[in-house]
């Protein structure tokens, strides 16, 4: 009985997984990745053309009625019915070659997100943990790290912290080792644990002496860990063989250029509006000519294949339309909250959570998280990651609000104006922020400084 239950579960997964994977890929894909997915679909599916669609979504939905129930009066669908009833239509050698080509599978390079989603589908995880893990996958950067702490993700996504930790631990059990870490230290520790090196000098060095290791201060490390310099040097060699950015293995595109999905622009009346940059994407439609290519075959399997391709093509077009609509709806809400930023710059970004946007457009917060992952908006202040608009923030003494991004910019401005012969410590920066009515803890200053790629004060000092 147990075996029967297991087989049934596997059968359902095989039926649903491809549709779930495609929907997730379309929603989470950035413009460059989506271009690749759509080009792949155009190559694999003979019913798709890269042209302006002439069929409405309502017309597309009628395919499920079957070839014998297609309403009269629609030339394209009557033509399809004639083919499926085996009415002769000429077919050239070129058409036959094209048909053979379309049967060949074209495999696109696997992304890190696709790799993790595939493992998640086979994990047997609790449905709630699985749903949150999908959202977390969309919040990983190119290295495979979270670009903000889980506590901030929790506030931004409007989700409890405990299930986020459960989902994070699940992702950390996947391949490659070191994925879904908060920072380099945690990633290296995960890699050492995976290879059974938790009780080693390497682990102790990474855990407590990583900054000293980066500066090659082997004597100081040896003294702190009560060992020899030679042993530290040997451990450092082993640590150097770990992967500092495990997620980059799956960067199949190798393309450093960013194409924004949305632009914030002013209309002719001077009002800000969100506009999709659709010109970068193929414009899909159901082809008028694919029927002629396949018409001469009397093979029942080929006719079944044709119907399946129709269904898949229409599903893809619907998924693409839904993706674009969701992204535009989110961008419209961001625009309503961040008008002051557009006029005055990053210091004026307001705190905003994904939960607020989700409630406004009537979707789940995880849908917002997946939709904005890897997406960019062209603004008057440059192209920005959509996730940058979602952040917790701080209240000023005057009752105003400043986002985390605004605080980071304030820190950057303070450091840019410092005396390089006497650079400011994190405590001094904390006091300088207080003068700007921003109450920020020293530890938070240090964290934001590191996120900005700015060295500590003793390493910023310049001698005249």
* pLDDT tens track, the chain, 464 positions: 444 444 444 444 433 456 666 777 788 887 777 888 888 888 888 778 876 444 444 444 444 444 433 343 344 444 445 444 444 344 455 544 444 444 343 344 567 887 888 888 888 888 888 888 888 887 888 888 887 788 888 887 778 888 889 999 999 999 889 999 988 999 999 999 988 889 999 999 999 998 888 888 889 999 999 999 999 999 998 998 898 888 887 754 444 457 888 999 988 888 999 999 876 788 888 776 666 655 666 667 776 777 788 788 888 888 898 899 999 999 999 999 888 888 887 767 788 888 889 999 998 888 888 888 888 898 888 888 888 888 766 656 555 666 777 788 888 888 888 888 888 888 899 888 888 877 788 888 888 888 777 888 877 777 55
Query: Mind listing the pLDDT tens digit for each residue in 51-63?
Result: 644 444 444 444 4
Strands 48-50 and 284-286: antiparallel
Q: Does 269 lie in the same domain as 332?
A: yes
Domain boundary pick from 330, 363, 389: 389
Q: Does 325 lie in the same domain as 371?
A: yes
> Is 47 part of any domain?
no
Residue 340, domain extent: 262-282+319-389
> Is 339 part of any domain?
yes
Domain boundary pick from 353, 368, 389: 389
> Is 347 part of any domain?
yes
Q: Does 352 lie in the same domain as 337?
A: yes
Q: Does 343 lie in the same domain as 225?
A: no
Nearest to 174 by CA among 250, 237, 228, 98: 250
Q: Does 409 lie in the same domain as 378?
A: no
Task: Report the C-alpha gap between 433 and 225 in whole angstroms.
Answer: 37
Residue 140, strand partner residues = 146
Q: Does 356 lie in the same domain as 437?
A: no
What count of other Cβ atoms lies within 10 Å of the Cβ of residue 136? Answer: 25
pLDDT of 7 reads 46
Nearest to 405 by CA among 334, 357, 328: 334
Q: Does 364 lie in the same domain as 271?
A: yes
Query: Mind listing the pLDDT tens digit for each residue in 192-233?
Result: 998 888 999 999 999 999 888 888 888 999 999 999 999 999
What dihedral angle (degrees, nearest 10) is formed by the CA atoms of 435, 438, 442, 445?
Answer: -110
Domain boundary pick from 389, 408, 437: 389
- What distance, in Å, lies between the first and last C-alpha atoms of the chain? 80
> Is 372 part of any domain?
yes
User: Is the pTM higher than 0.95?
Assistant: no
> Is 354 part of any domain?
yes
pLDDT of 74 reads 43
> Is 301 part of any domain?
no
Nearest to 91 by CA among 290, 328, 249: 290
Q: Does 400 lie in the same domain as 370?
A: no
Domain count, the chain: 3
CATH value at residue 413:
1.10.10.60
Measured on CA atoms in the order 371, 372, 373, 377, is the torsion positive or negative?
A: positive
Q: Does 341 lie in the same domain as 402?
A: no
Strands 376-379 and 262-266: parallel
> Is 212 part of any domain?
yes
Range 235-242 contact pairs with CB under 8 angstroms and sequence separation of 24 or more: 235/200, 235/201, 235/202, 235/205, 236/205, 238/202, 239/188, 239/202, 239/205, 239/206, 239/213, 242/178, 242/188, 242/191, 242/192
pLDDT of 455 reads 83
Q: Does 362 lie in the same domain as 399?
A: no
> Is 251 part of any domain?
no
Give the list of residues 6+ apart from residue 296 with CB closer than 8 angstroms, or none: 88, 89, 90, 91
């Amino acid at each position: 009985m147990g075996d029967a239950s297991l087989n049934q579960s596997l059968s359902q997964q095989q039926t649903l997984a491809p549709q779930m994977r495609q929907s997730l890929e379309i929603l989470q894909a950035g413009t460059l990745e989506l271009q690749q997915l759509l080009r792949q679909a155009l190559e694999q599916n003979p019913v798709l053309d890269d042209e302006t669609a002439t069929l409405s979504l309502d017309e597309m939905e009628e395919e499920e009625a079957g070839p014998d129930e297609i309403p009269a009066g629609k030339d394209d669908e009557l033509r399809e019915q004639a083919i499926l009833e085996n009415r002769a239509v000429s077919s050239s050698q070129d058409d036959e070659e094209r048909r053979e080509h379309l049967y060949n599978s074209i495999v696109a390079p696997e992304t890190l997100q696709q790799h993790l989603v595939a493992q998640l589908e086979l994990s047997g995880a609790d449905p709630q943990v699985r749903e949150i893990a999908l959202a977390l996958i969309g919040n990983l950067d190119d290295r495979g790290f979270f670009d903000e702490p889980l506590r901030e993700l929790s506030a931004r996504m409007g989700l409890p912290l405990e299930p986020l930790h459960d989902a994070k631990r699940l992702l950390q059990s996947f391949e490659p080792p070191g994925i879904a870490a908060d920072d380099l230290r945690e990633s290296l520790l995960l890699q050492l644990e995976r290879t059974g090196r938790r009780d080693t000098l390497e682990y102790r060095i990474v855990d407590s002496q990583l900054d000293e290791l980066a500066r090659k201060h082997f004597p100081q490390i040896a003294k702190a860990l009560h060992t020899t310099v030679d042993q530290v040097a040997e451990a450092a060699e082993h640590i150097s063989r770990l992967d500092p950015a495990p997620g980059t293995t799956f960067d199949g595109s190798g393309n450093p250029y960013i194409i924004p999905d949305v632009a914030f622009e002013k209309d002719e009346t001077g009002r800000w509006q969100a506009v999709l940059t659709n010109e970068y994407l193929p414009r899909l439609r159901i082809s008028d000519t694919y029927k002629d290519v396949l018409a001469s075959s009397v093979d029942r399997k080929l006719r079944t294949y044709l119907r399946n391709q129709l269904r898949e093509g229409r599903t893809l077009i619907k998924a693409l339309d839904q993706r674009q609509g969701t992204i535009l709806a989110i961008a419209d809400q961001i625009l309503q909250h961040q008008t002051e930023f557009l006029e005055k710059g990053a210091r004026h970004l307001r705190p905003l959570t994904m939960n607020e946007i989700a409630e406004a457009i009537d979707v789940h917060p995880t849908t917002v998280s997946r939709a904005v992952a890897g997406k960019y908006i062209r603004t008057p202040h440059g192209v920005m990651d959509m996730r940058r608009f979602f952040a917790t923030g701080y209240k000023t003494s005057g009752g105003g609000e400043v986002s985390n991004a605004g605080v980071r910019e304030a820190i950057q401005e303070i450091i840019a104006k410092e005396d390089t012969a006497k650079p400011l410590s994190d405590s001094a920066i904390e006091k300088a922020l207080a003068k700007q009515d921003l109450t920020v803890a020293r530890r938070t200053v240090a964290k934001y400084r590191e996120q900005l790629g700015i060295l500590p004060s003793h390493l910023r000092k310049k001698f005249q």
